[in-house]
Structures are given as structure tokens and as C-alpha cells.
Amino acid sequence: MLDMYLKYLESEKRCSPKTVDAYKSDLCGFFDDKESDASAENISEIKPSEIREWTLKLMEENHSPRTINRKLSALNGFFKYMIRERIIDSNPVNKIKYPKEKKRIPVFLEEKKLNNYLDITNDVEDNYFAIRNQTIIELLYATGIRREELINIKINDISDNYIKVTGKGRKERLIPLTDNIKIWLQRLIAKRKELIARDDSEYVFLTNKYEKIYPNFVYRIIKNKLATAGFTGKKSPHVLRHTFATHMLNNGADLNSIKTVLGHSSLAATQIYTHTTFEDLKRIHNKTHPRK
């Protein structure tokens, strides 16, 4: 049953291999803990009390509410599929109360400091590798795309005014390009053609060995650049995604526009940035009001 469900996630739900592996890990964890397999017979016998006991066990093992909720969501999706396939009649997860998660304010970089740094580093060496590294940080900040989306950008995905990216669920979306990032991409592609006369790769960003870049490669570039700029705390590609959304919202963009650009499936995922904006507003209010 488990293999059937994972195949469904991959083929019909179009989940990425990484997502499918995460579901598999969470579901196997549940059945391993029960010391049973995911056969139709065993699935039909699972009661809400067993899931509740498993949830309490995870709490006792100091798993975070976010992790537990993710595991419960994986289990919930699995049982929904079993109902669809008429293996079971009801979903035992429906009677489980999910642990309450703390609201997390996204980590983002200071707008003025980041832009000053990008202005200073604008004049990079005139070679593919230096331009590649600068284009990566410029593009992540200019578009808010995910690291995986950046890695998979192909030359044909770039047009005069838009870039096409493939997000979660293999959904494609078009993101407008600023004049600044258009210049960087043009420089990068020109240097790429100059460097590699006979090139079979269709990807824009290549390693020093002319292979497709990978997640840790991007992470190292961003971490090193932000550390050089003097930023403390978390330094990652996803911080630049949070920074993009926060700065856009603080400068007047509406939530729906940001949701579309980020590729969120629901507005609820985008609303985390309103908390950041409120914190920013509170700071300004405390700083400028005459009756402090």
C-alpha cells in the first residue's frame, strides 16, 4: 500500500523526489513504531488512539510541534488516499488534535545594508565564475525564487522581460525581471558562451567543472558572500527569499502579488511576512513618536 501511495504522489500529485522521500520517511517511521507493515489488513485496524499514543511518544522524544505536525500531515494524506482507493472507510487522523506551533517571524536582511553591499560588489572580475556568483545572489534577491528553482533554470527559460521557473508540484510560473538582473543574466550568458565553445548543458548556472550546480554549491556562495558583507545570524538562499518578500511588502507590494511571485499555493503561506512588517512598523513608531 505504501509503495502505491508514493507512486501516486510522484505521478499524479507531481511531488518532487525530495518530497516523496520525506513522506516515505515519516510513514515508515509510523509503521516501524507500530512494528507492522502498511498492508491493507493492518491499515484498516488502525485506531485514533494508536495515532494519539504515537504523537505523545514523539513529544516525549522532544520532537518539535512543527515536525510532529508534518508527520501527522503525511499520515493524513496517506489515509485520505486509502479512503479514495476504498481500502478504509474513515480517516483516524481526523480525530487527532495537532500540537500548536509557535508563530515564526522569518529571518531577513536589512534593506539598506544589503543594497549597499550589492552596489559595492557590482564591479566584479570580468569572467564567468565571478559573474556567476554575483548573478546568483542578485537573482535570488530580485525574484525570491527557491534554491532548487535557481539550480534548474535553463537558457531557454530566460526571455527579455521574464524568467520561467518550475516550482513545487512541477508548477511553472513567470517572474518579471528588473533591469538590473537582466543585465547580470545577459553578462553571464555571454561569458558562458565565450568560455564553453561546445556546450551540451542547457542549464544557466554551472560549476567550475562546467557541470550543473547543486544545492550545497549555492548555499556556500550565499553564505560566503553574506559573511563577507558583515551579516551575522543565519545566511542562506532561503533568507534571501524571505528578504525579497519582506522588502517588497515593506515598499508597498500587495500580498497577492508576492504570493504569485513566490509560487505559494495559498495566501496563508505568504501572510507570515505581515508579522515582519508589523515588527518593522512597531520599531519605526517607537523611534519616531514624540511621546516615547
123 DSSP 8-state letter: S
Based on the number of CB atoms within 10 Å of its own CB, is 160 exposed (0-12), middle (13-18) or buried (19 or more)?
Answer: exposed
**Strand 172-176 vs strand 162-166: parallel, antiparallel, or unpaired?**
antiparallel
Task: Round to whole Å and give the CA distance between 143 and 158.
Answer: 13
Question: Among all residues, which ones are annotated catalytic?
Answer: 146, 168, 238, 241, 264, 273
8 A C-beta contact, residue 223 and residue 233: no
Based on the number of CB atoms within 10 Å of its own CB, is 272 exposed (0-12), middle (13-18) or buried (19 or more)?
Answer: middle
Q: Which residues pair with 166 in a beta bridge?
A: 172
Task: Round to whole Å and give the CA distance between 80 and 199.
Answer: 47
